Amino acid sequence: MEEKTPAQQMREKLLAQKKNGWDVVDEATERAIFEYAEGYKEFLDAGKTERTCVDNIVELAKEAGFVPFERGMDLQPGMKVYRVNRGKAINLAVVGSAPLDQGVTLCAAHIDNPRLDLKPVPLYEDGELAYLKTHYYGGLRKYQWVTIPLELRGVAALKDGSVVKVAVGAGENDPLFTISDLLPHLAAAQNQKKLGEAVPAETLNLLVGSRPLKDDEGSDRVKLAVMKLLNERYGITEADFLSAELEAVPAFDAVDIGFDRTLIGAYGHDDRVCAYAALRGLLDLPSTPVRTAVCVLADKEEIGSVGVSGMQSRFFDTFMEDLCASQNVPLRVCFEKSFCLSTDVSIAYDPNFPEVFEKNNSARINYGVGICKYTGRAGKSGASDAGAETVAYIRRLLDGRNVLWQMCELGKTDVGGGGTVALYMADRNIDTIDAGVPVLSMHAPFETVGKLDCYMMYAACRAVYEG
Ligand code: MN
Ligand code: MN
């Protein structure tokens, strides 16, 4: 071994080191990374909407010994409980050995994704073709959602109180749906439009049928024939669309990307990649943690964490208060001692578009969990700016467990930005910091992440829960 020069030694001591994760991990970790990715891909395919995702999570939680949390339950250390919020969000907890006045450790992700919701009056016929009108949900780029296969998932709540689950495209040999776009031959005028205006929202109409009802002289025969099929399969009528939540989501399953299979392409990495890490981390806890570990999987983040199933909802406080009541601990005392990792994806540096990134402060694929001290826009507007002490805590925690991580911002300061659930946790007097997997093509129907980063996210959540 050659001796290091004084300059080399000084460089190692004084300058921050950044290394590609694949140059750092050992063979056992490599194996764990690829194994973890298989479980994550299954999780993605099983839950393409918040409701199906919750259904799958409940199954996984039950297998791991979790039980529904009833108010007033006698909670002992080691007990595993969960509570579902209206089928669209879920909180899970493993009761720790320390009392709740010592606070809890939280990992909070969201399980809603950009998609195309059906309008309340969606079904119509035009040009002897049947369509469902959609209303896009979340910050999506409309031009990306045409000419791809889509499937339909959700529920119709009937007046008699029953709820019908709708899933077309989920089964083998199921039909799929699509939205048409102009052909290049006739797109001269459309090509002149701005990208954001080229595909107007009112053209995002899902093609769902083309065969008219036979032996009928009336109008809208294709529409009627489609409604007949829906009625036969689900027992619903056109009026039942009024009380339905139906979502058109990409029909493709999660796949490996790259000759080396180090990446995953799928719909919904934002934010199922962190939701799975937060969940798996909790399910895999080998023993009773010291502080109670809580996994929060919220809905409605993509539209501002609003509404009864979003992170701003008192559902979370009620869950926590019910936990605290079992030990006669005031909720505020628990919150002020708690720590939250707001686990939401970060933006991966994309060499195809270097102009929107500030290189020194961008997350890179394969460099581990992206930690954001703050998110927001412009002058940190709308950010939860984690304190320096909180950043130091997470540095210490992750380095102590050999979790690979990197510090990042969301692109160039004046170019754009974004937000997460972090500010709503911080509002509750909980020390909170953002951390997530870097994603390419975020909010597209098909997003890409690195398997190494996915695994490091899981390791980070484990570290938080285990303290
Ligand atoms: Mn997100
Ligand atoms: Mn998002």
In angstroms, how far is CA 283 from the centroid of its own chain?
18
For residue 190, the CA-to-ligand 1 centroid distance in Å is: 31
For residue 438, the CA-to-ligand 2 centroid distance in Å is: 12
Q: What confidence score (pLDDT) does residue 263 get?
A: 98
CB–CB of 357/350 below 8 Å? yes
For residues 333-338, average pLDDT: 98
Task: Note the pLDDT tens digit of each residue in 161-209.
Answer: 999 999 999 888 999 999 999 999 999 999 999 999 999 999 999 999 9
Tokens 């990042």 map to which residue?
Answer: 408
* Percent of the chain's residues with pLDDT above 90: 96
Gyration radius of the chain over CA positions: 24
For residue 123, the CA-to-ligand 1 centroid distance in Å is: 31
For residues 348-367, average pLDDT: 97
For residue 277, the CA-to-ligand 2 centroid distance in Å is: 16
For residue 343, the CA-to-ligand 1 centroid distance in Å is: 8
Q: Which ligand is nearest to the CA of 442?
A: 2
Q: Which ligand is nearest to the CA of 441?
A: 2
For residue 113, the CA-to-ligand 2 centroid distance in Å is: 7
Task: Note the pLDDT tens digit of each residue in 14-48.
Answer: 998 889 999 999 999 999 999 999 999 999 999 99
For residue 71, the CA-to-ligand 2 centroid distance in Å is: 33
Q: Which ligand is nearest to the CA of 437?
A: 1
For residue 463, the CA-to-ligand 1 centroid distance in Å is: 21
For residues 133-143, average pLDDT: 98
pTM score, whole prediction: 0.97
Q: What confidence score (pLDDT) does residue 1 get?
A: 61
Task: Note the pLDDT tens digit of each residue in 446-458.
Answer: 999 999 999 999 9
Domains of the chain: 16-113+267-466 (3.40.630.10), 115-250 (2.30.250.10)
Q: From CA 116, how far away is CA 145, in angstroms rounded?
A: 9
Lowest mean pLDDT across 104-118, 215-229, 341-355: 215-229
For residue 448, the CA-to-ligand 2 centroid distance in Å is: 13
For residue 110, the CA-to-ligand 1 centroid distance in Å is: 7
Task: Note the pLDDT tens digit of each residue in 245-273.
Answer: 999 999 999 999 999 999 999 999 999 99
Q: Which ligand is nearest to the CA of 443?
A: 2
For residue 434, the CA-to-ligand 1 centroid distance in Å is: 11
For residue 382, the CA-to-ligand 1 centroid distance in Å is: 15
For residue 213, the CA-to-ligand 2 centroid distance in Å is: 42
